[in-house]
Structure 1
């Protein structure tokens, strides 16, 4: 027993003296060991690192070191090499080698990670494994999410804003502006686009100390009395307490606000000394509704100084792979079965679906696929039936009958016969006319029509 303890101590000393960050995961993805170099790299004490569980996602405030997690395939491979990150605000990613550890029965017991001392070069080779074929689109999307979180920070790492398309980049710039100003903001987009959550994120960015009260109000449910009660409650101040900073009304479904409720809200906003910030969400631009006499013009103008209009998900096909990867990694973060991403065929099928429910429907579809998957990678067969049925319906939809132009069809046949007769007659029009059973003058007129 003493000899075993001595050997364990010697091994621990080897790792402790190593200048490269080293950590070990058990088969439940918990960090069971890390050396001093790893603790220095992560800028945390060893006792706060060991015991943490690593799940395969892009990280958040509660999981700052998710970037240390290799893809699920690494736990099935004997060796895997790829980039890892220390967490938000950390320097550039580093390359790491992961070696799987197995017991005599061949069952996985853990994963040994040795991180390079220097940052990974921009042209570093793709991840490699004895069981997987190099860099996959899923791994590339995961690394892109890690990079985005690193560059944008938590404020802008929001599902409606993820993507590389020019329109998505413009939306991010508009939302950043909304976060940095007190101007009323109107978020416009189809249902299921995540805009209520985005409005709350804008409020949180404007009020990091949490001192401005926020009151949600549903336009489809509120009448004049409800608006009046909600606003009075929002503005009420308890005796003896300091004056609160300007309260915020979160007006949901603003385009469905009843005329009487519109009048009540507009009246409150014109009261002298009345101070209220408003964040509004609607499916249609309010000023456009006002032009059609479907909304109060004065209220539409008050609510619309800064309008951020989001397209339906069907119009963001270029952003869909990243959005699907993000939805999948959110499920990984719950600590259950881990999925690395989607196969190319699965992504193709997701791209072909029209997404009437937008981001909310995408989250539901990804949740079903994550649950159905039996491998680390989500295959097309793991997608819900409605995705495949929609694809099949489009593929096998009856085609409209082809229009038959009898004159053009007969004219083409006649031309082919004339060409054949001219070849047999070696260019002699008189002989060609005899072969066709017509007179020479008619043959010449027909040839001249083609010319």
Structure 2
């Protein structure tokens, strides 16, 4: 992990002389400092700049410390805030602790106690972050692919993987492009009885029909132009292990027949040879297509679909697990900071807010690319909104403008009417395709059908 810069502290106190003394004292302890005279300004600054700790008085003219504490915590719950209060106002301090303050100190301050409390608060946050990082990197013991996340969707997915992995069942992994289907395939393999055998990956969409057949099953010398020697296929390479067939929905009808035979009999034939060869492989396939819909449309064989879909795993899109975005963003930030030999500290609140509100059509892969770009461009310690791709910035502005119009309008539609308009708009955009409309609305097809029925 890249090294971190010095800690920045915000001092909030309307007593100018007291604030000046505190700033001089804390600066002498080696911290970077900013000071303001009211809670309202503290709230503004906390949204603009990433502070490591806030030291805040209770009683101030425009906005008191308790109100400011609550607003800052609603925006950034992880920042430690130490409240300063007079002896006669301990009730407010108790209220502050309940609202999320790390601790409170009574005036006149004991400066040794202040320094110790600040150090403990910063150490607590650091240990909590390190502990959380370890937990996210090890969502469960089934995490060899470094699957980062703590959302309920990811926990359910990993519970499913934990049950499936020890079996010999064929697995079909469904999910949009960029969601991490290959990581799930690795997790299944490395937690199975075949973990000491090979894991062989084939991208079915990257090869033509002729090349794919040769790639999967091998070929004899002279089987076709350019076949100057016999070649073993990927099924043979995966013997005693697992073969991962990525983008399985892209293979041609002719290849579907040959693959079905290989799955049913666990036998293959090299191109140019009629002799069958027994193979011992477990098959894990993945697709970003709705294979059931492809079967209904006549584009995919029903018998092959059922052979592949013995155990189905669905990888959720990033928009359905937004609570994982900060974890993933920080994971990629440190990864690319190390690669590019940069010292980083994190994201500004504004930049993280933009990441959280973006829908990520390219999922984790798009987030990874966005963070890599930001690390290359960032001039300081923090990624700001200026380093994020234009698509994220435009989406954020559109989101804020839409919210502003709703808030400013006096004629607010009932919620069910807004939902109805959204559904009709999605159906119009997708030309009546309910599966695609459901994806755009962020709901399941079953939920959409139920809403249409109502």
Q: Tell me the TM-score range normalised by the shorter chain.
A: 0.5 to 0.7
Aligned: 1:186 with 2:172: yes
Deviation string for 1:289-321 (max 9, x for gaps)?
Answer: 324433111111111111111222122212111
Aligned: 1:325 with 2:330: yes
Contact 1:192/1:360 (8 A) holds in 2? yes
Aligned: 1:269 with 2:263: yes
Structure 2 match to 1:170: 156
- Give 1:133 shift: 8.8
Structure 1 match to 2:77: none
Structure 1 match to 2:305: 300
Measured in 2, the distance between the counterparts of 1:321 and 1:257 equals 36
Give the helix-richer structure, 1 or 2.
Answer: 2
Measured in 1, the distance between the counterparts of 2:393 and 2:199 equals 46
C-alpha distance 79-304 of structure 1, shift in aligned 2 (>3 A): farther
Structure 2 match to 1:290: 295
Instruction: Name the SS of the counterpart of 1:311 in structure 2.
Output: coil
Structure 1 match to 2:215: 230
Structure 2 match to 1:146: 134
Aligned: 1:212 with 2:195: no
Measured in 1, the distance between the counterparts of 2:309 and 2:389 equals 39
- Give 1:71 shift: 3.4
Structure 1 segment 29-40 matched on structure 2, within 5 A: none
C-alpha distance 142-340 of structure 1, shift in aligned 2 (>3 A): farther
Structure 2 match to 1:246: 240
Unaligned 5+ segments in structure 2 are: 10-26, 32-101, 104-114, 221-229, 268-277, 412-454
Measured in 1, the distance between the counterparts of 2:382 and 2:120 equals 11
Measured in 2, the distance between the counterparts of 1:380 and 1:302 equals 47
Instruction: Name the SS of the counterpart of 2:353 in structure 1.
Output: helix
Structure 1 segment 45-444 matched on structure 2, within 5 A: 55-56=1-2, 71-73=4-6, 134=122, 141-149=129-137, 152=140, 155-156=142-143, 158=145, 161-206=147-192, 210-212=196-198, 214-219=200-205, 221-223=207-209, 225-233=210-218, 245-271=239-265, 274=278, 275-334=280-339, 336-396=341-401
Deviation string for 1:200-243 (max 9, x for gaps)?
Answer: 343344377643362514146342x44432332399999xxx99
Contact 2:137/2:148 (8 A) holds in 1? no
Instruction: Name the SS of the counterpart of 1:72 in structure 2.
Output: coil
Measured in 1, the distance between the counterparts of 2:238 and 2:244 equals 17
Contact 2:172/2:308 (8 A) holds in 1? yes
Contact 1:185/1:308 (8 A) holds in 2? yes
Contact 2:199/2:244 (8 A) holds in 1? no
Matched positions, count:
288
C-alpha distance 263-340 of structure 1, shift in aligned 2 (>3 A): same
C-alpha distance 294-185 of structure 1, shift in aligned 2 (>3 A): same
4+ runs deviating over 4 angstroms? 74-80, 125-142, 207-210, 234-238, 242-245, 397-404
State which drifts further: 356-365 or 325-334.
Answer: 325-334
- Give 1:265 shift: 0.8
Instruction: Name the SS of the counterpart of 1:350 in structure 2.
Output: helix
Measured in 1, the distance between the counterparts of 2:124 and 2:164 equals 36
- Give 1:168 shift: 1.3
Which has the higher Rg, Structure 1 or Structure 2?
A: 1
Contact 2:139/2:155 (8 A) holds in 1? no
TM-score scaled to structure 1, two decimals?
0.53
Contact 2:196/2:241 (8 A) holds in 1? no
Measured in 2, the distance between the counterparts of 1:399 and 1:297 equals 49
C-alpha distance 179-340 of structure 1, shift in aligned 2 (>3 A): farther
Instruction: Name the SS of the counterpart of 2:365 in structure 1.
Output: helix
Measured in 2, the distance between the counterparts of 1:261 and 1:311 equals 29
